[in-house]
Amino acid sequence: MHYFIGIDSSTTATKALLMDENGRVLSVASSSYGYETPQPLWSEQRPELWWTGTVASIQQLLAETAVPPHAIQAIGLTGQMHGLVLLDKNGDVLRPALLWNDQRTAAECDEMRTIIGPQQLIDITGNDALTGFTAPKILWVKNNEPEIYAKIAHILLPKDYVRYKLTGEFATDKAGAAGTQLFDVRQRDWSAEVVGKLGIDPAWLPKTFEGTAVTGHLTPAAAKATGLPAGVPVVAGGGDQAANAVGTGAVVDGVVALSLGTSGVVFASSDVPVVEPDGRLHAFCHAVPGKWHLMGVMLSAAGSLRWYRDALAPGVSFDDLLAPAAAVPAGSAGLLFLPYLTGERTPHPDPLARGGFIGLTVRHSQPHLTRAVLEGVAFGLRDSLGLMRGAGLANITQIRAAGGGLRSSLWRQILADVLQAEIVTVNSTEGAAYGAAVLALVGAGVFSSVAAACAELVQVTGRTEPGGDTAVYHQLYPLYQQLYPALKPTFAALVG
């Protein structure tokens, strides 16, 4: 039997997953760490945390299983996207990494639009300039830390720093690279125009590879640290959302991945590059060779429910909180919830957007509020799905859902009704780490393609069809859509 490891370097922990060639997960290990917010809007993390987390998690896998290290055939990598890791000519870290949720670069986003042109930027990279992306972070360092900028020799993403420590190679996957906003999303490589106009030395950028390609092999030093043998292949992998889509089988047209965690992500695979004209959706390369994807992100999905529970029903279990809401009719008796508790990204890239209950009367009880939260999040996710359909991905037949929020049968039914599509759950529950391991398995030649691997390994475990409340939600959705434009001036005034 051959075995494969998927490594997921997230914002809060590094997870390592061990699976066999039949897709069976033998063990999952996780090493937690924190990040710093030294100033308002800043979010930073020390790259060595990802490496120590990787070493500890791999060692734990080997200790907890009887799998001999020499049976490990390949490693796949995934992790948080958009972060900026800067190394000098010796490969040493120059400063803490600027993370995906760092918001300090508003001025640099405007600078990018001015230098390249707002529409040209969208046409080339598939995205408008956003504070979370890597490119404006590079400009921020140039503008604010010139002494650091002068020492840059290599620019990496977080998971690719782990790759460097494992293999000694400077490389990245095309899905992750597309999230830097330095990428020509159609050509699947660095954009000479964007890189040149921003004054970035192209020698700083790593080589890019398709998700299943081997990017290097375990060095003797990495082998000694992890307990694995030297020479184990390390495949490119993919950014966390692309790898999660592989893990749930969203690798063919018509199948959408829905992640309902703290944030909510709607992810649609495509055989051709599709760019939403106004840049309201993220258009990236997929971790699947030769494929692309569109992605919408809402910042407070299950996070909205957690806030609601903690603020208004502290100590109550989610099951007990949601049970009475099942008896409330669809529409919550005329109550709408706006889920912009931490600003919003899709379809309104507005950090000043705020949440709220609209339509409250004395008739409403806590179960009404609870159901309104579930419905409001579902409406927010429908915004992304509607943009995808409008951009040309009209043939959406199935939504493969994962994340803690999907444990609720009530929420699954509301989502199916609001999104007007079948919601299915699958047997793979480890998301991105599982997807990274699948990419490693394909890279090792066990399967001929990612689609073939997913068809064999990822199985549907449950189905929720749209029901009788679909018509009610279809009538309410336009009212939900009117709320943000009407309240946007108020949001800005409240912050000001």
Annotated catalytic residues are 240
DSSP for 437-490, written as a single string: HHHHHHHTTSSSSHHHHHHHH--EEEEE---TTHHHHHHHHHHHHHHHHHHHHH
Beta-carbon contacts of 227 under 8 Å, excluding residues fewer than 6 positions away, are 58, 59, 62, 69
- 186: tokens are 């159609």
| DSSP-H helix ranges across 297-423 | 302-312, 318-322, 366-391, 409-419
The residues with which 208 forms a beta bridge, in sequence order, are 172
Contact 341, 304 (CB under 8 A): yes
Beta-carbon contacts of 312 under 8 Å, excluding residues fewer than 6 positions away, are 366, 369
Beta-carbon contacts of 325 under 8 Å, excluding residues fewer than 6 positions away, are 367, 368, 370, 371, 374, 410
Strands 336-338 and 398-402: unpaired
- 218: tokens are 């375990």
Task: Give the separation between CA 313 and CA 321, rounded to whole angstroms.
Answer: 8
What's 163's DSSP letter? H
- Please give the helix or strand (H or E) that residue 87 lies within, else none: strand 85-87
CA distances from 402 to 118, 224, 250, 296 (A): 34, 36, 11, 15
Beta-carbon contacts of 200 under 8 Å, excluding residues fewer than 6 positions away, are 138, 155, 182
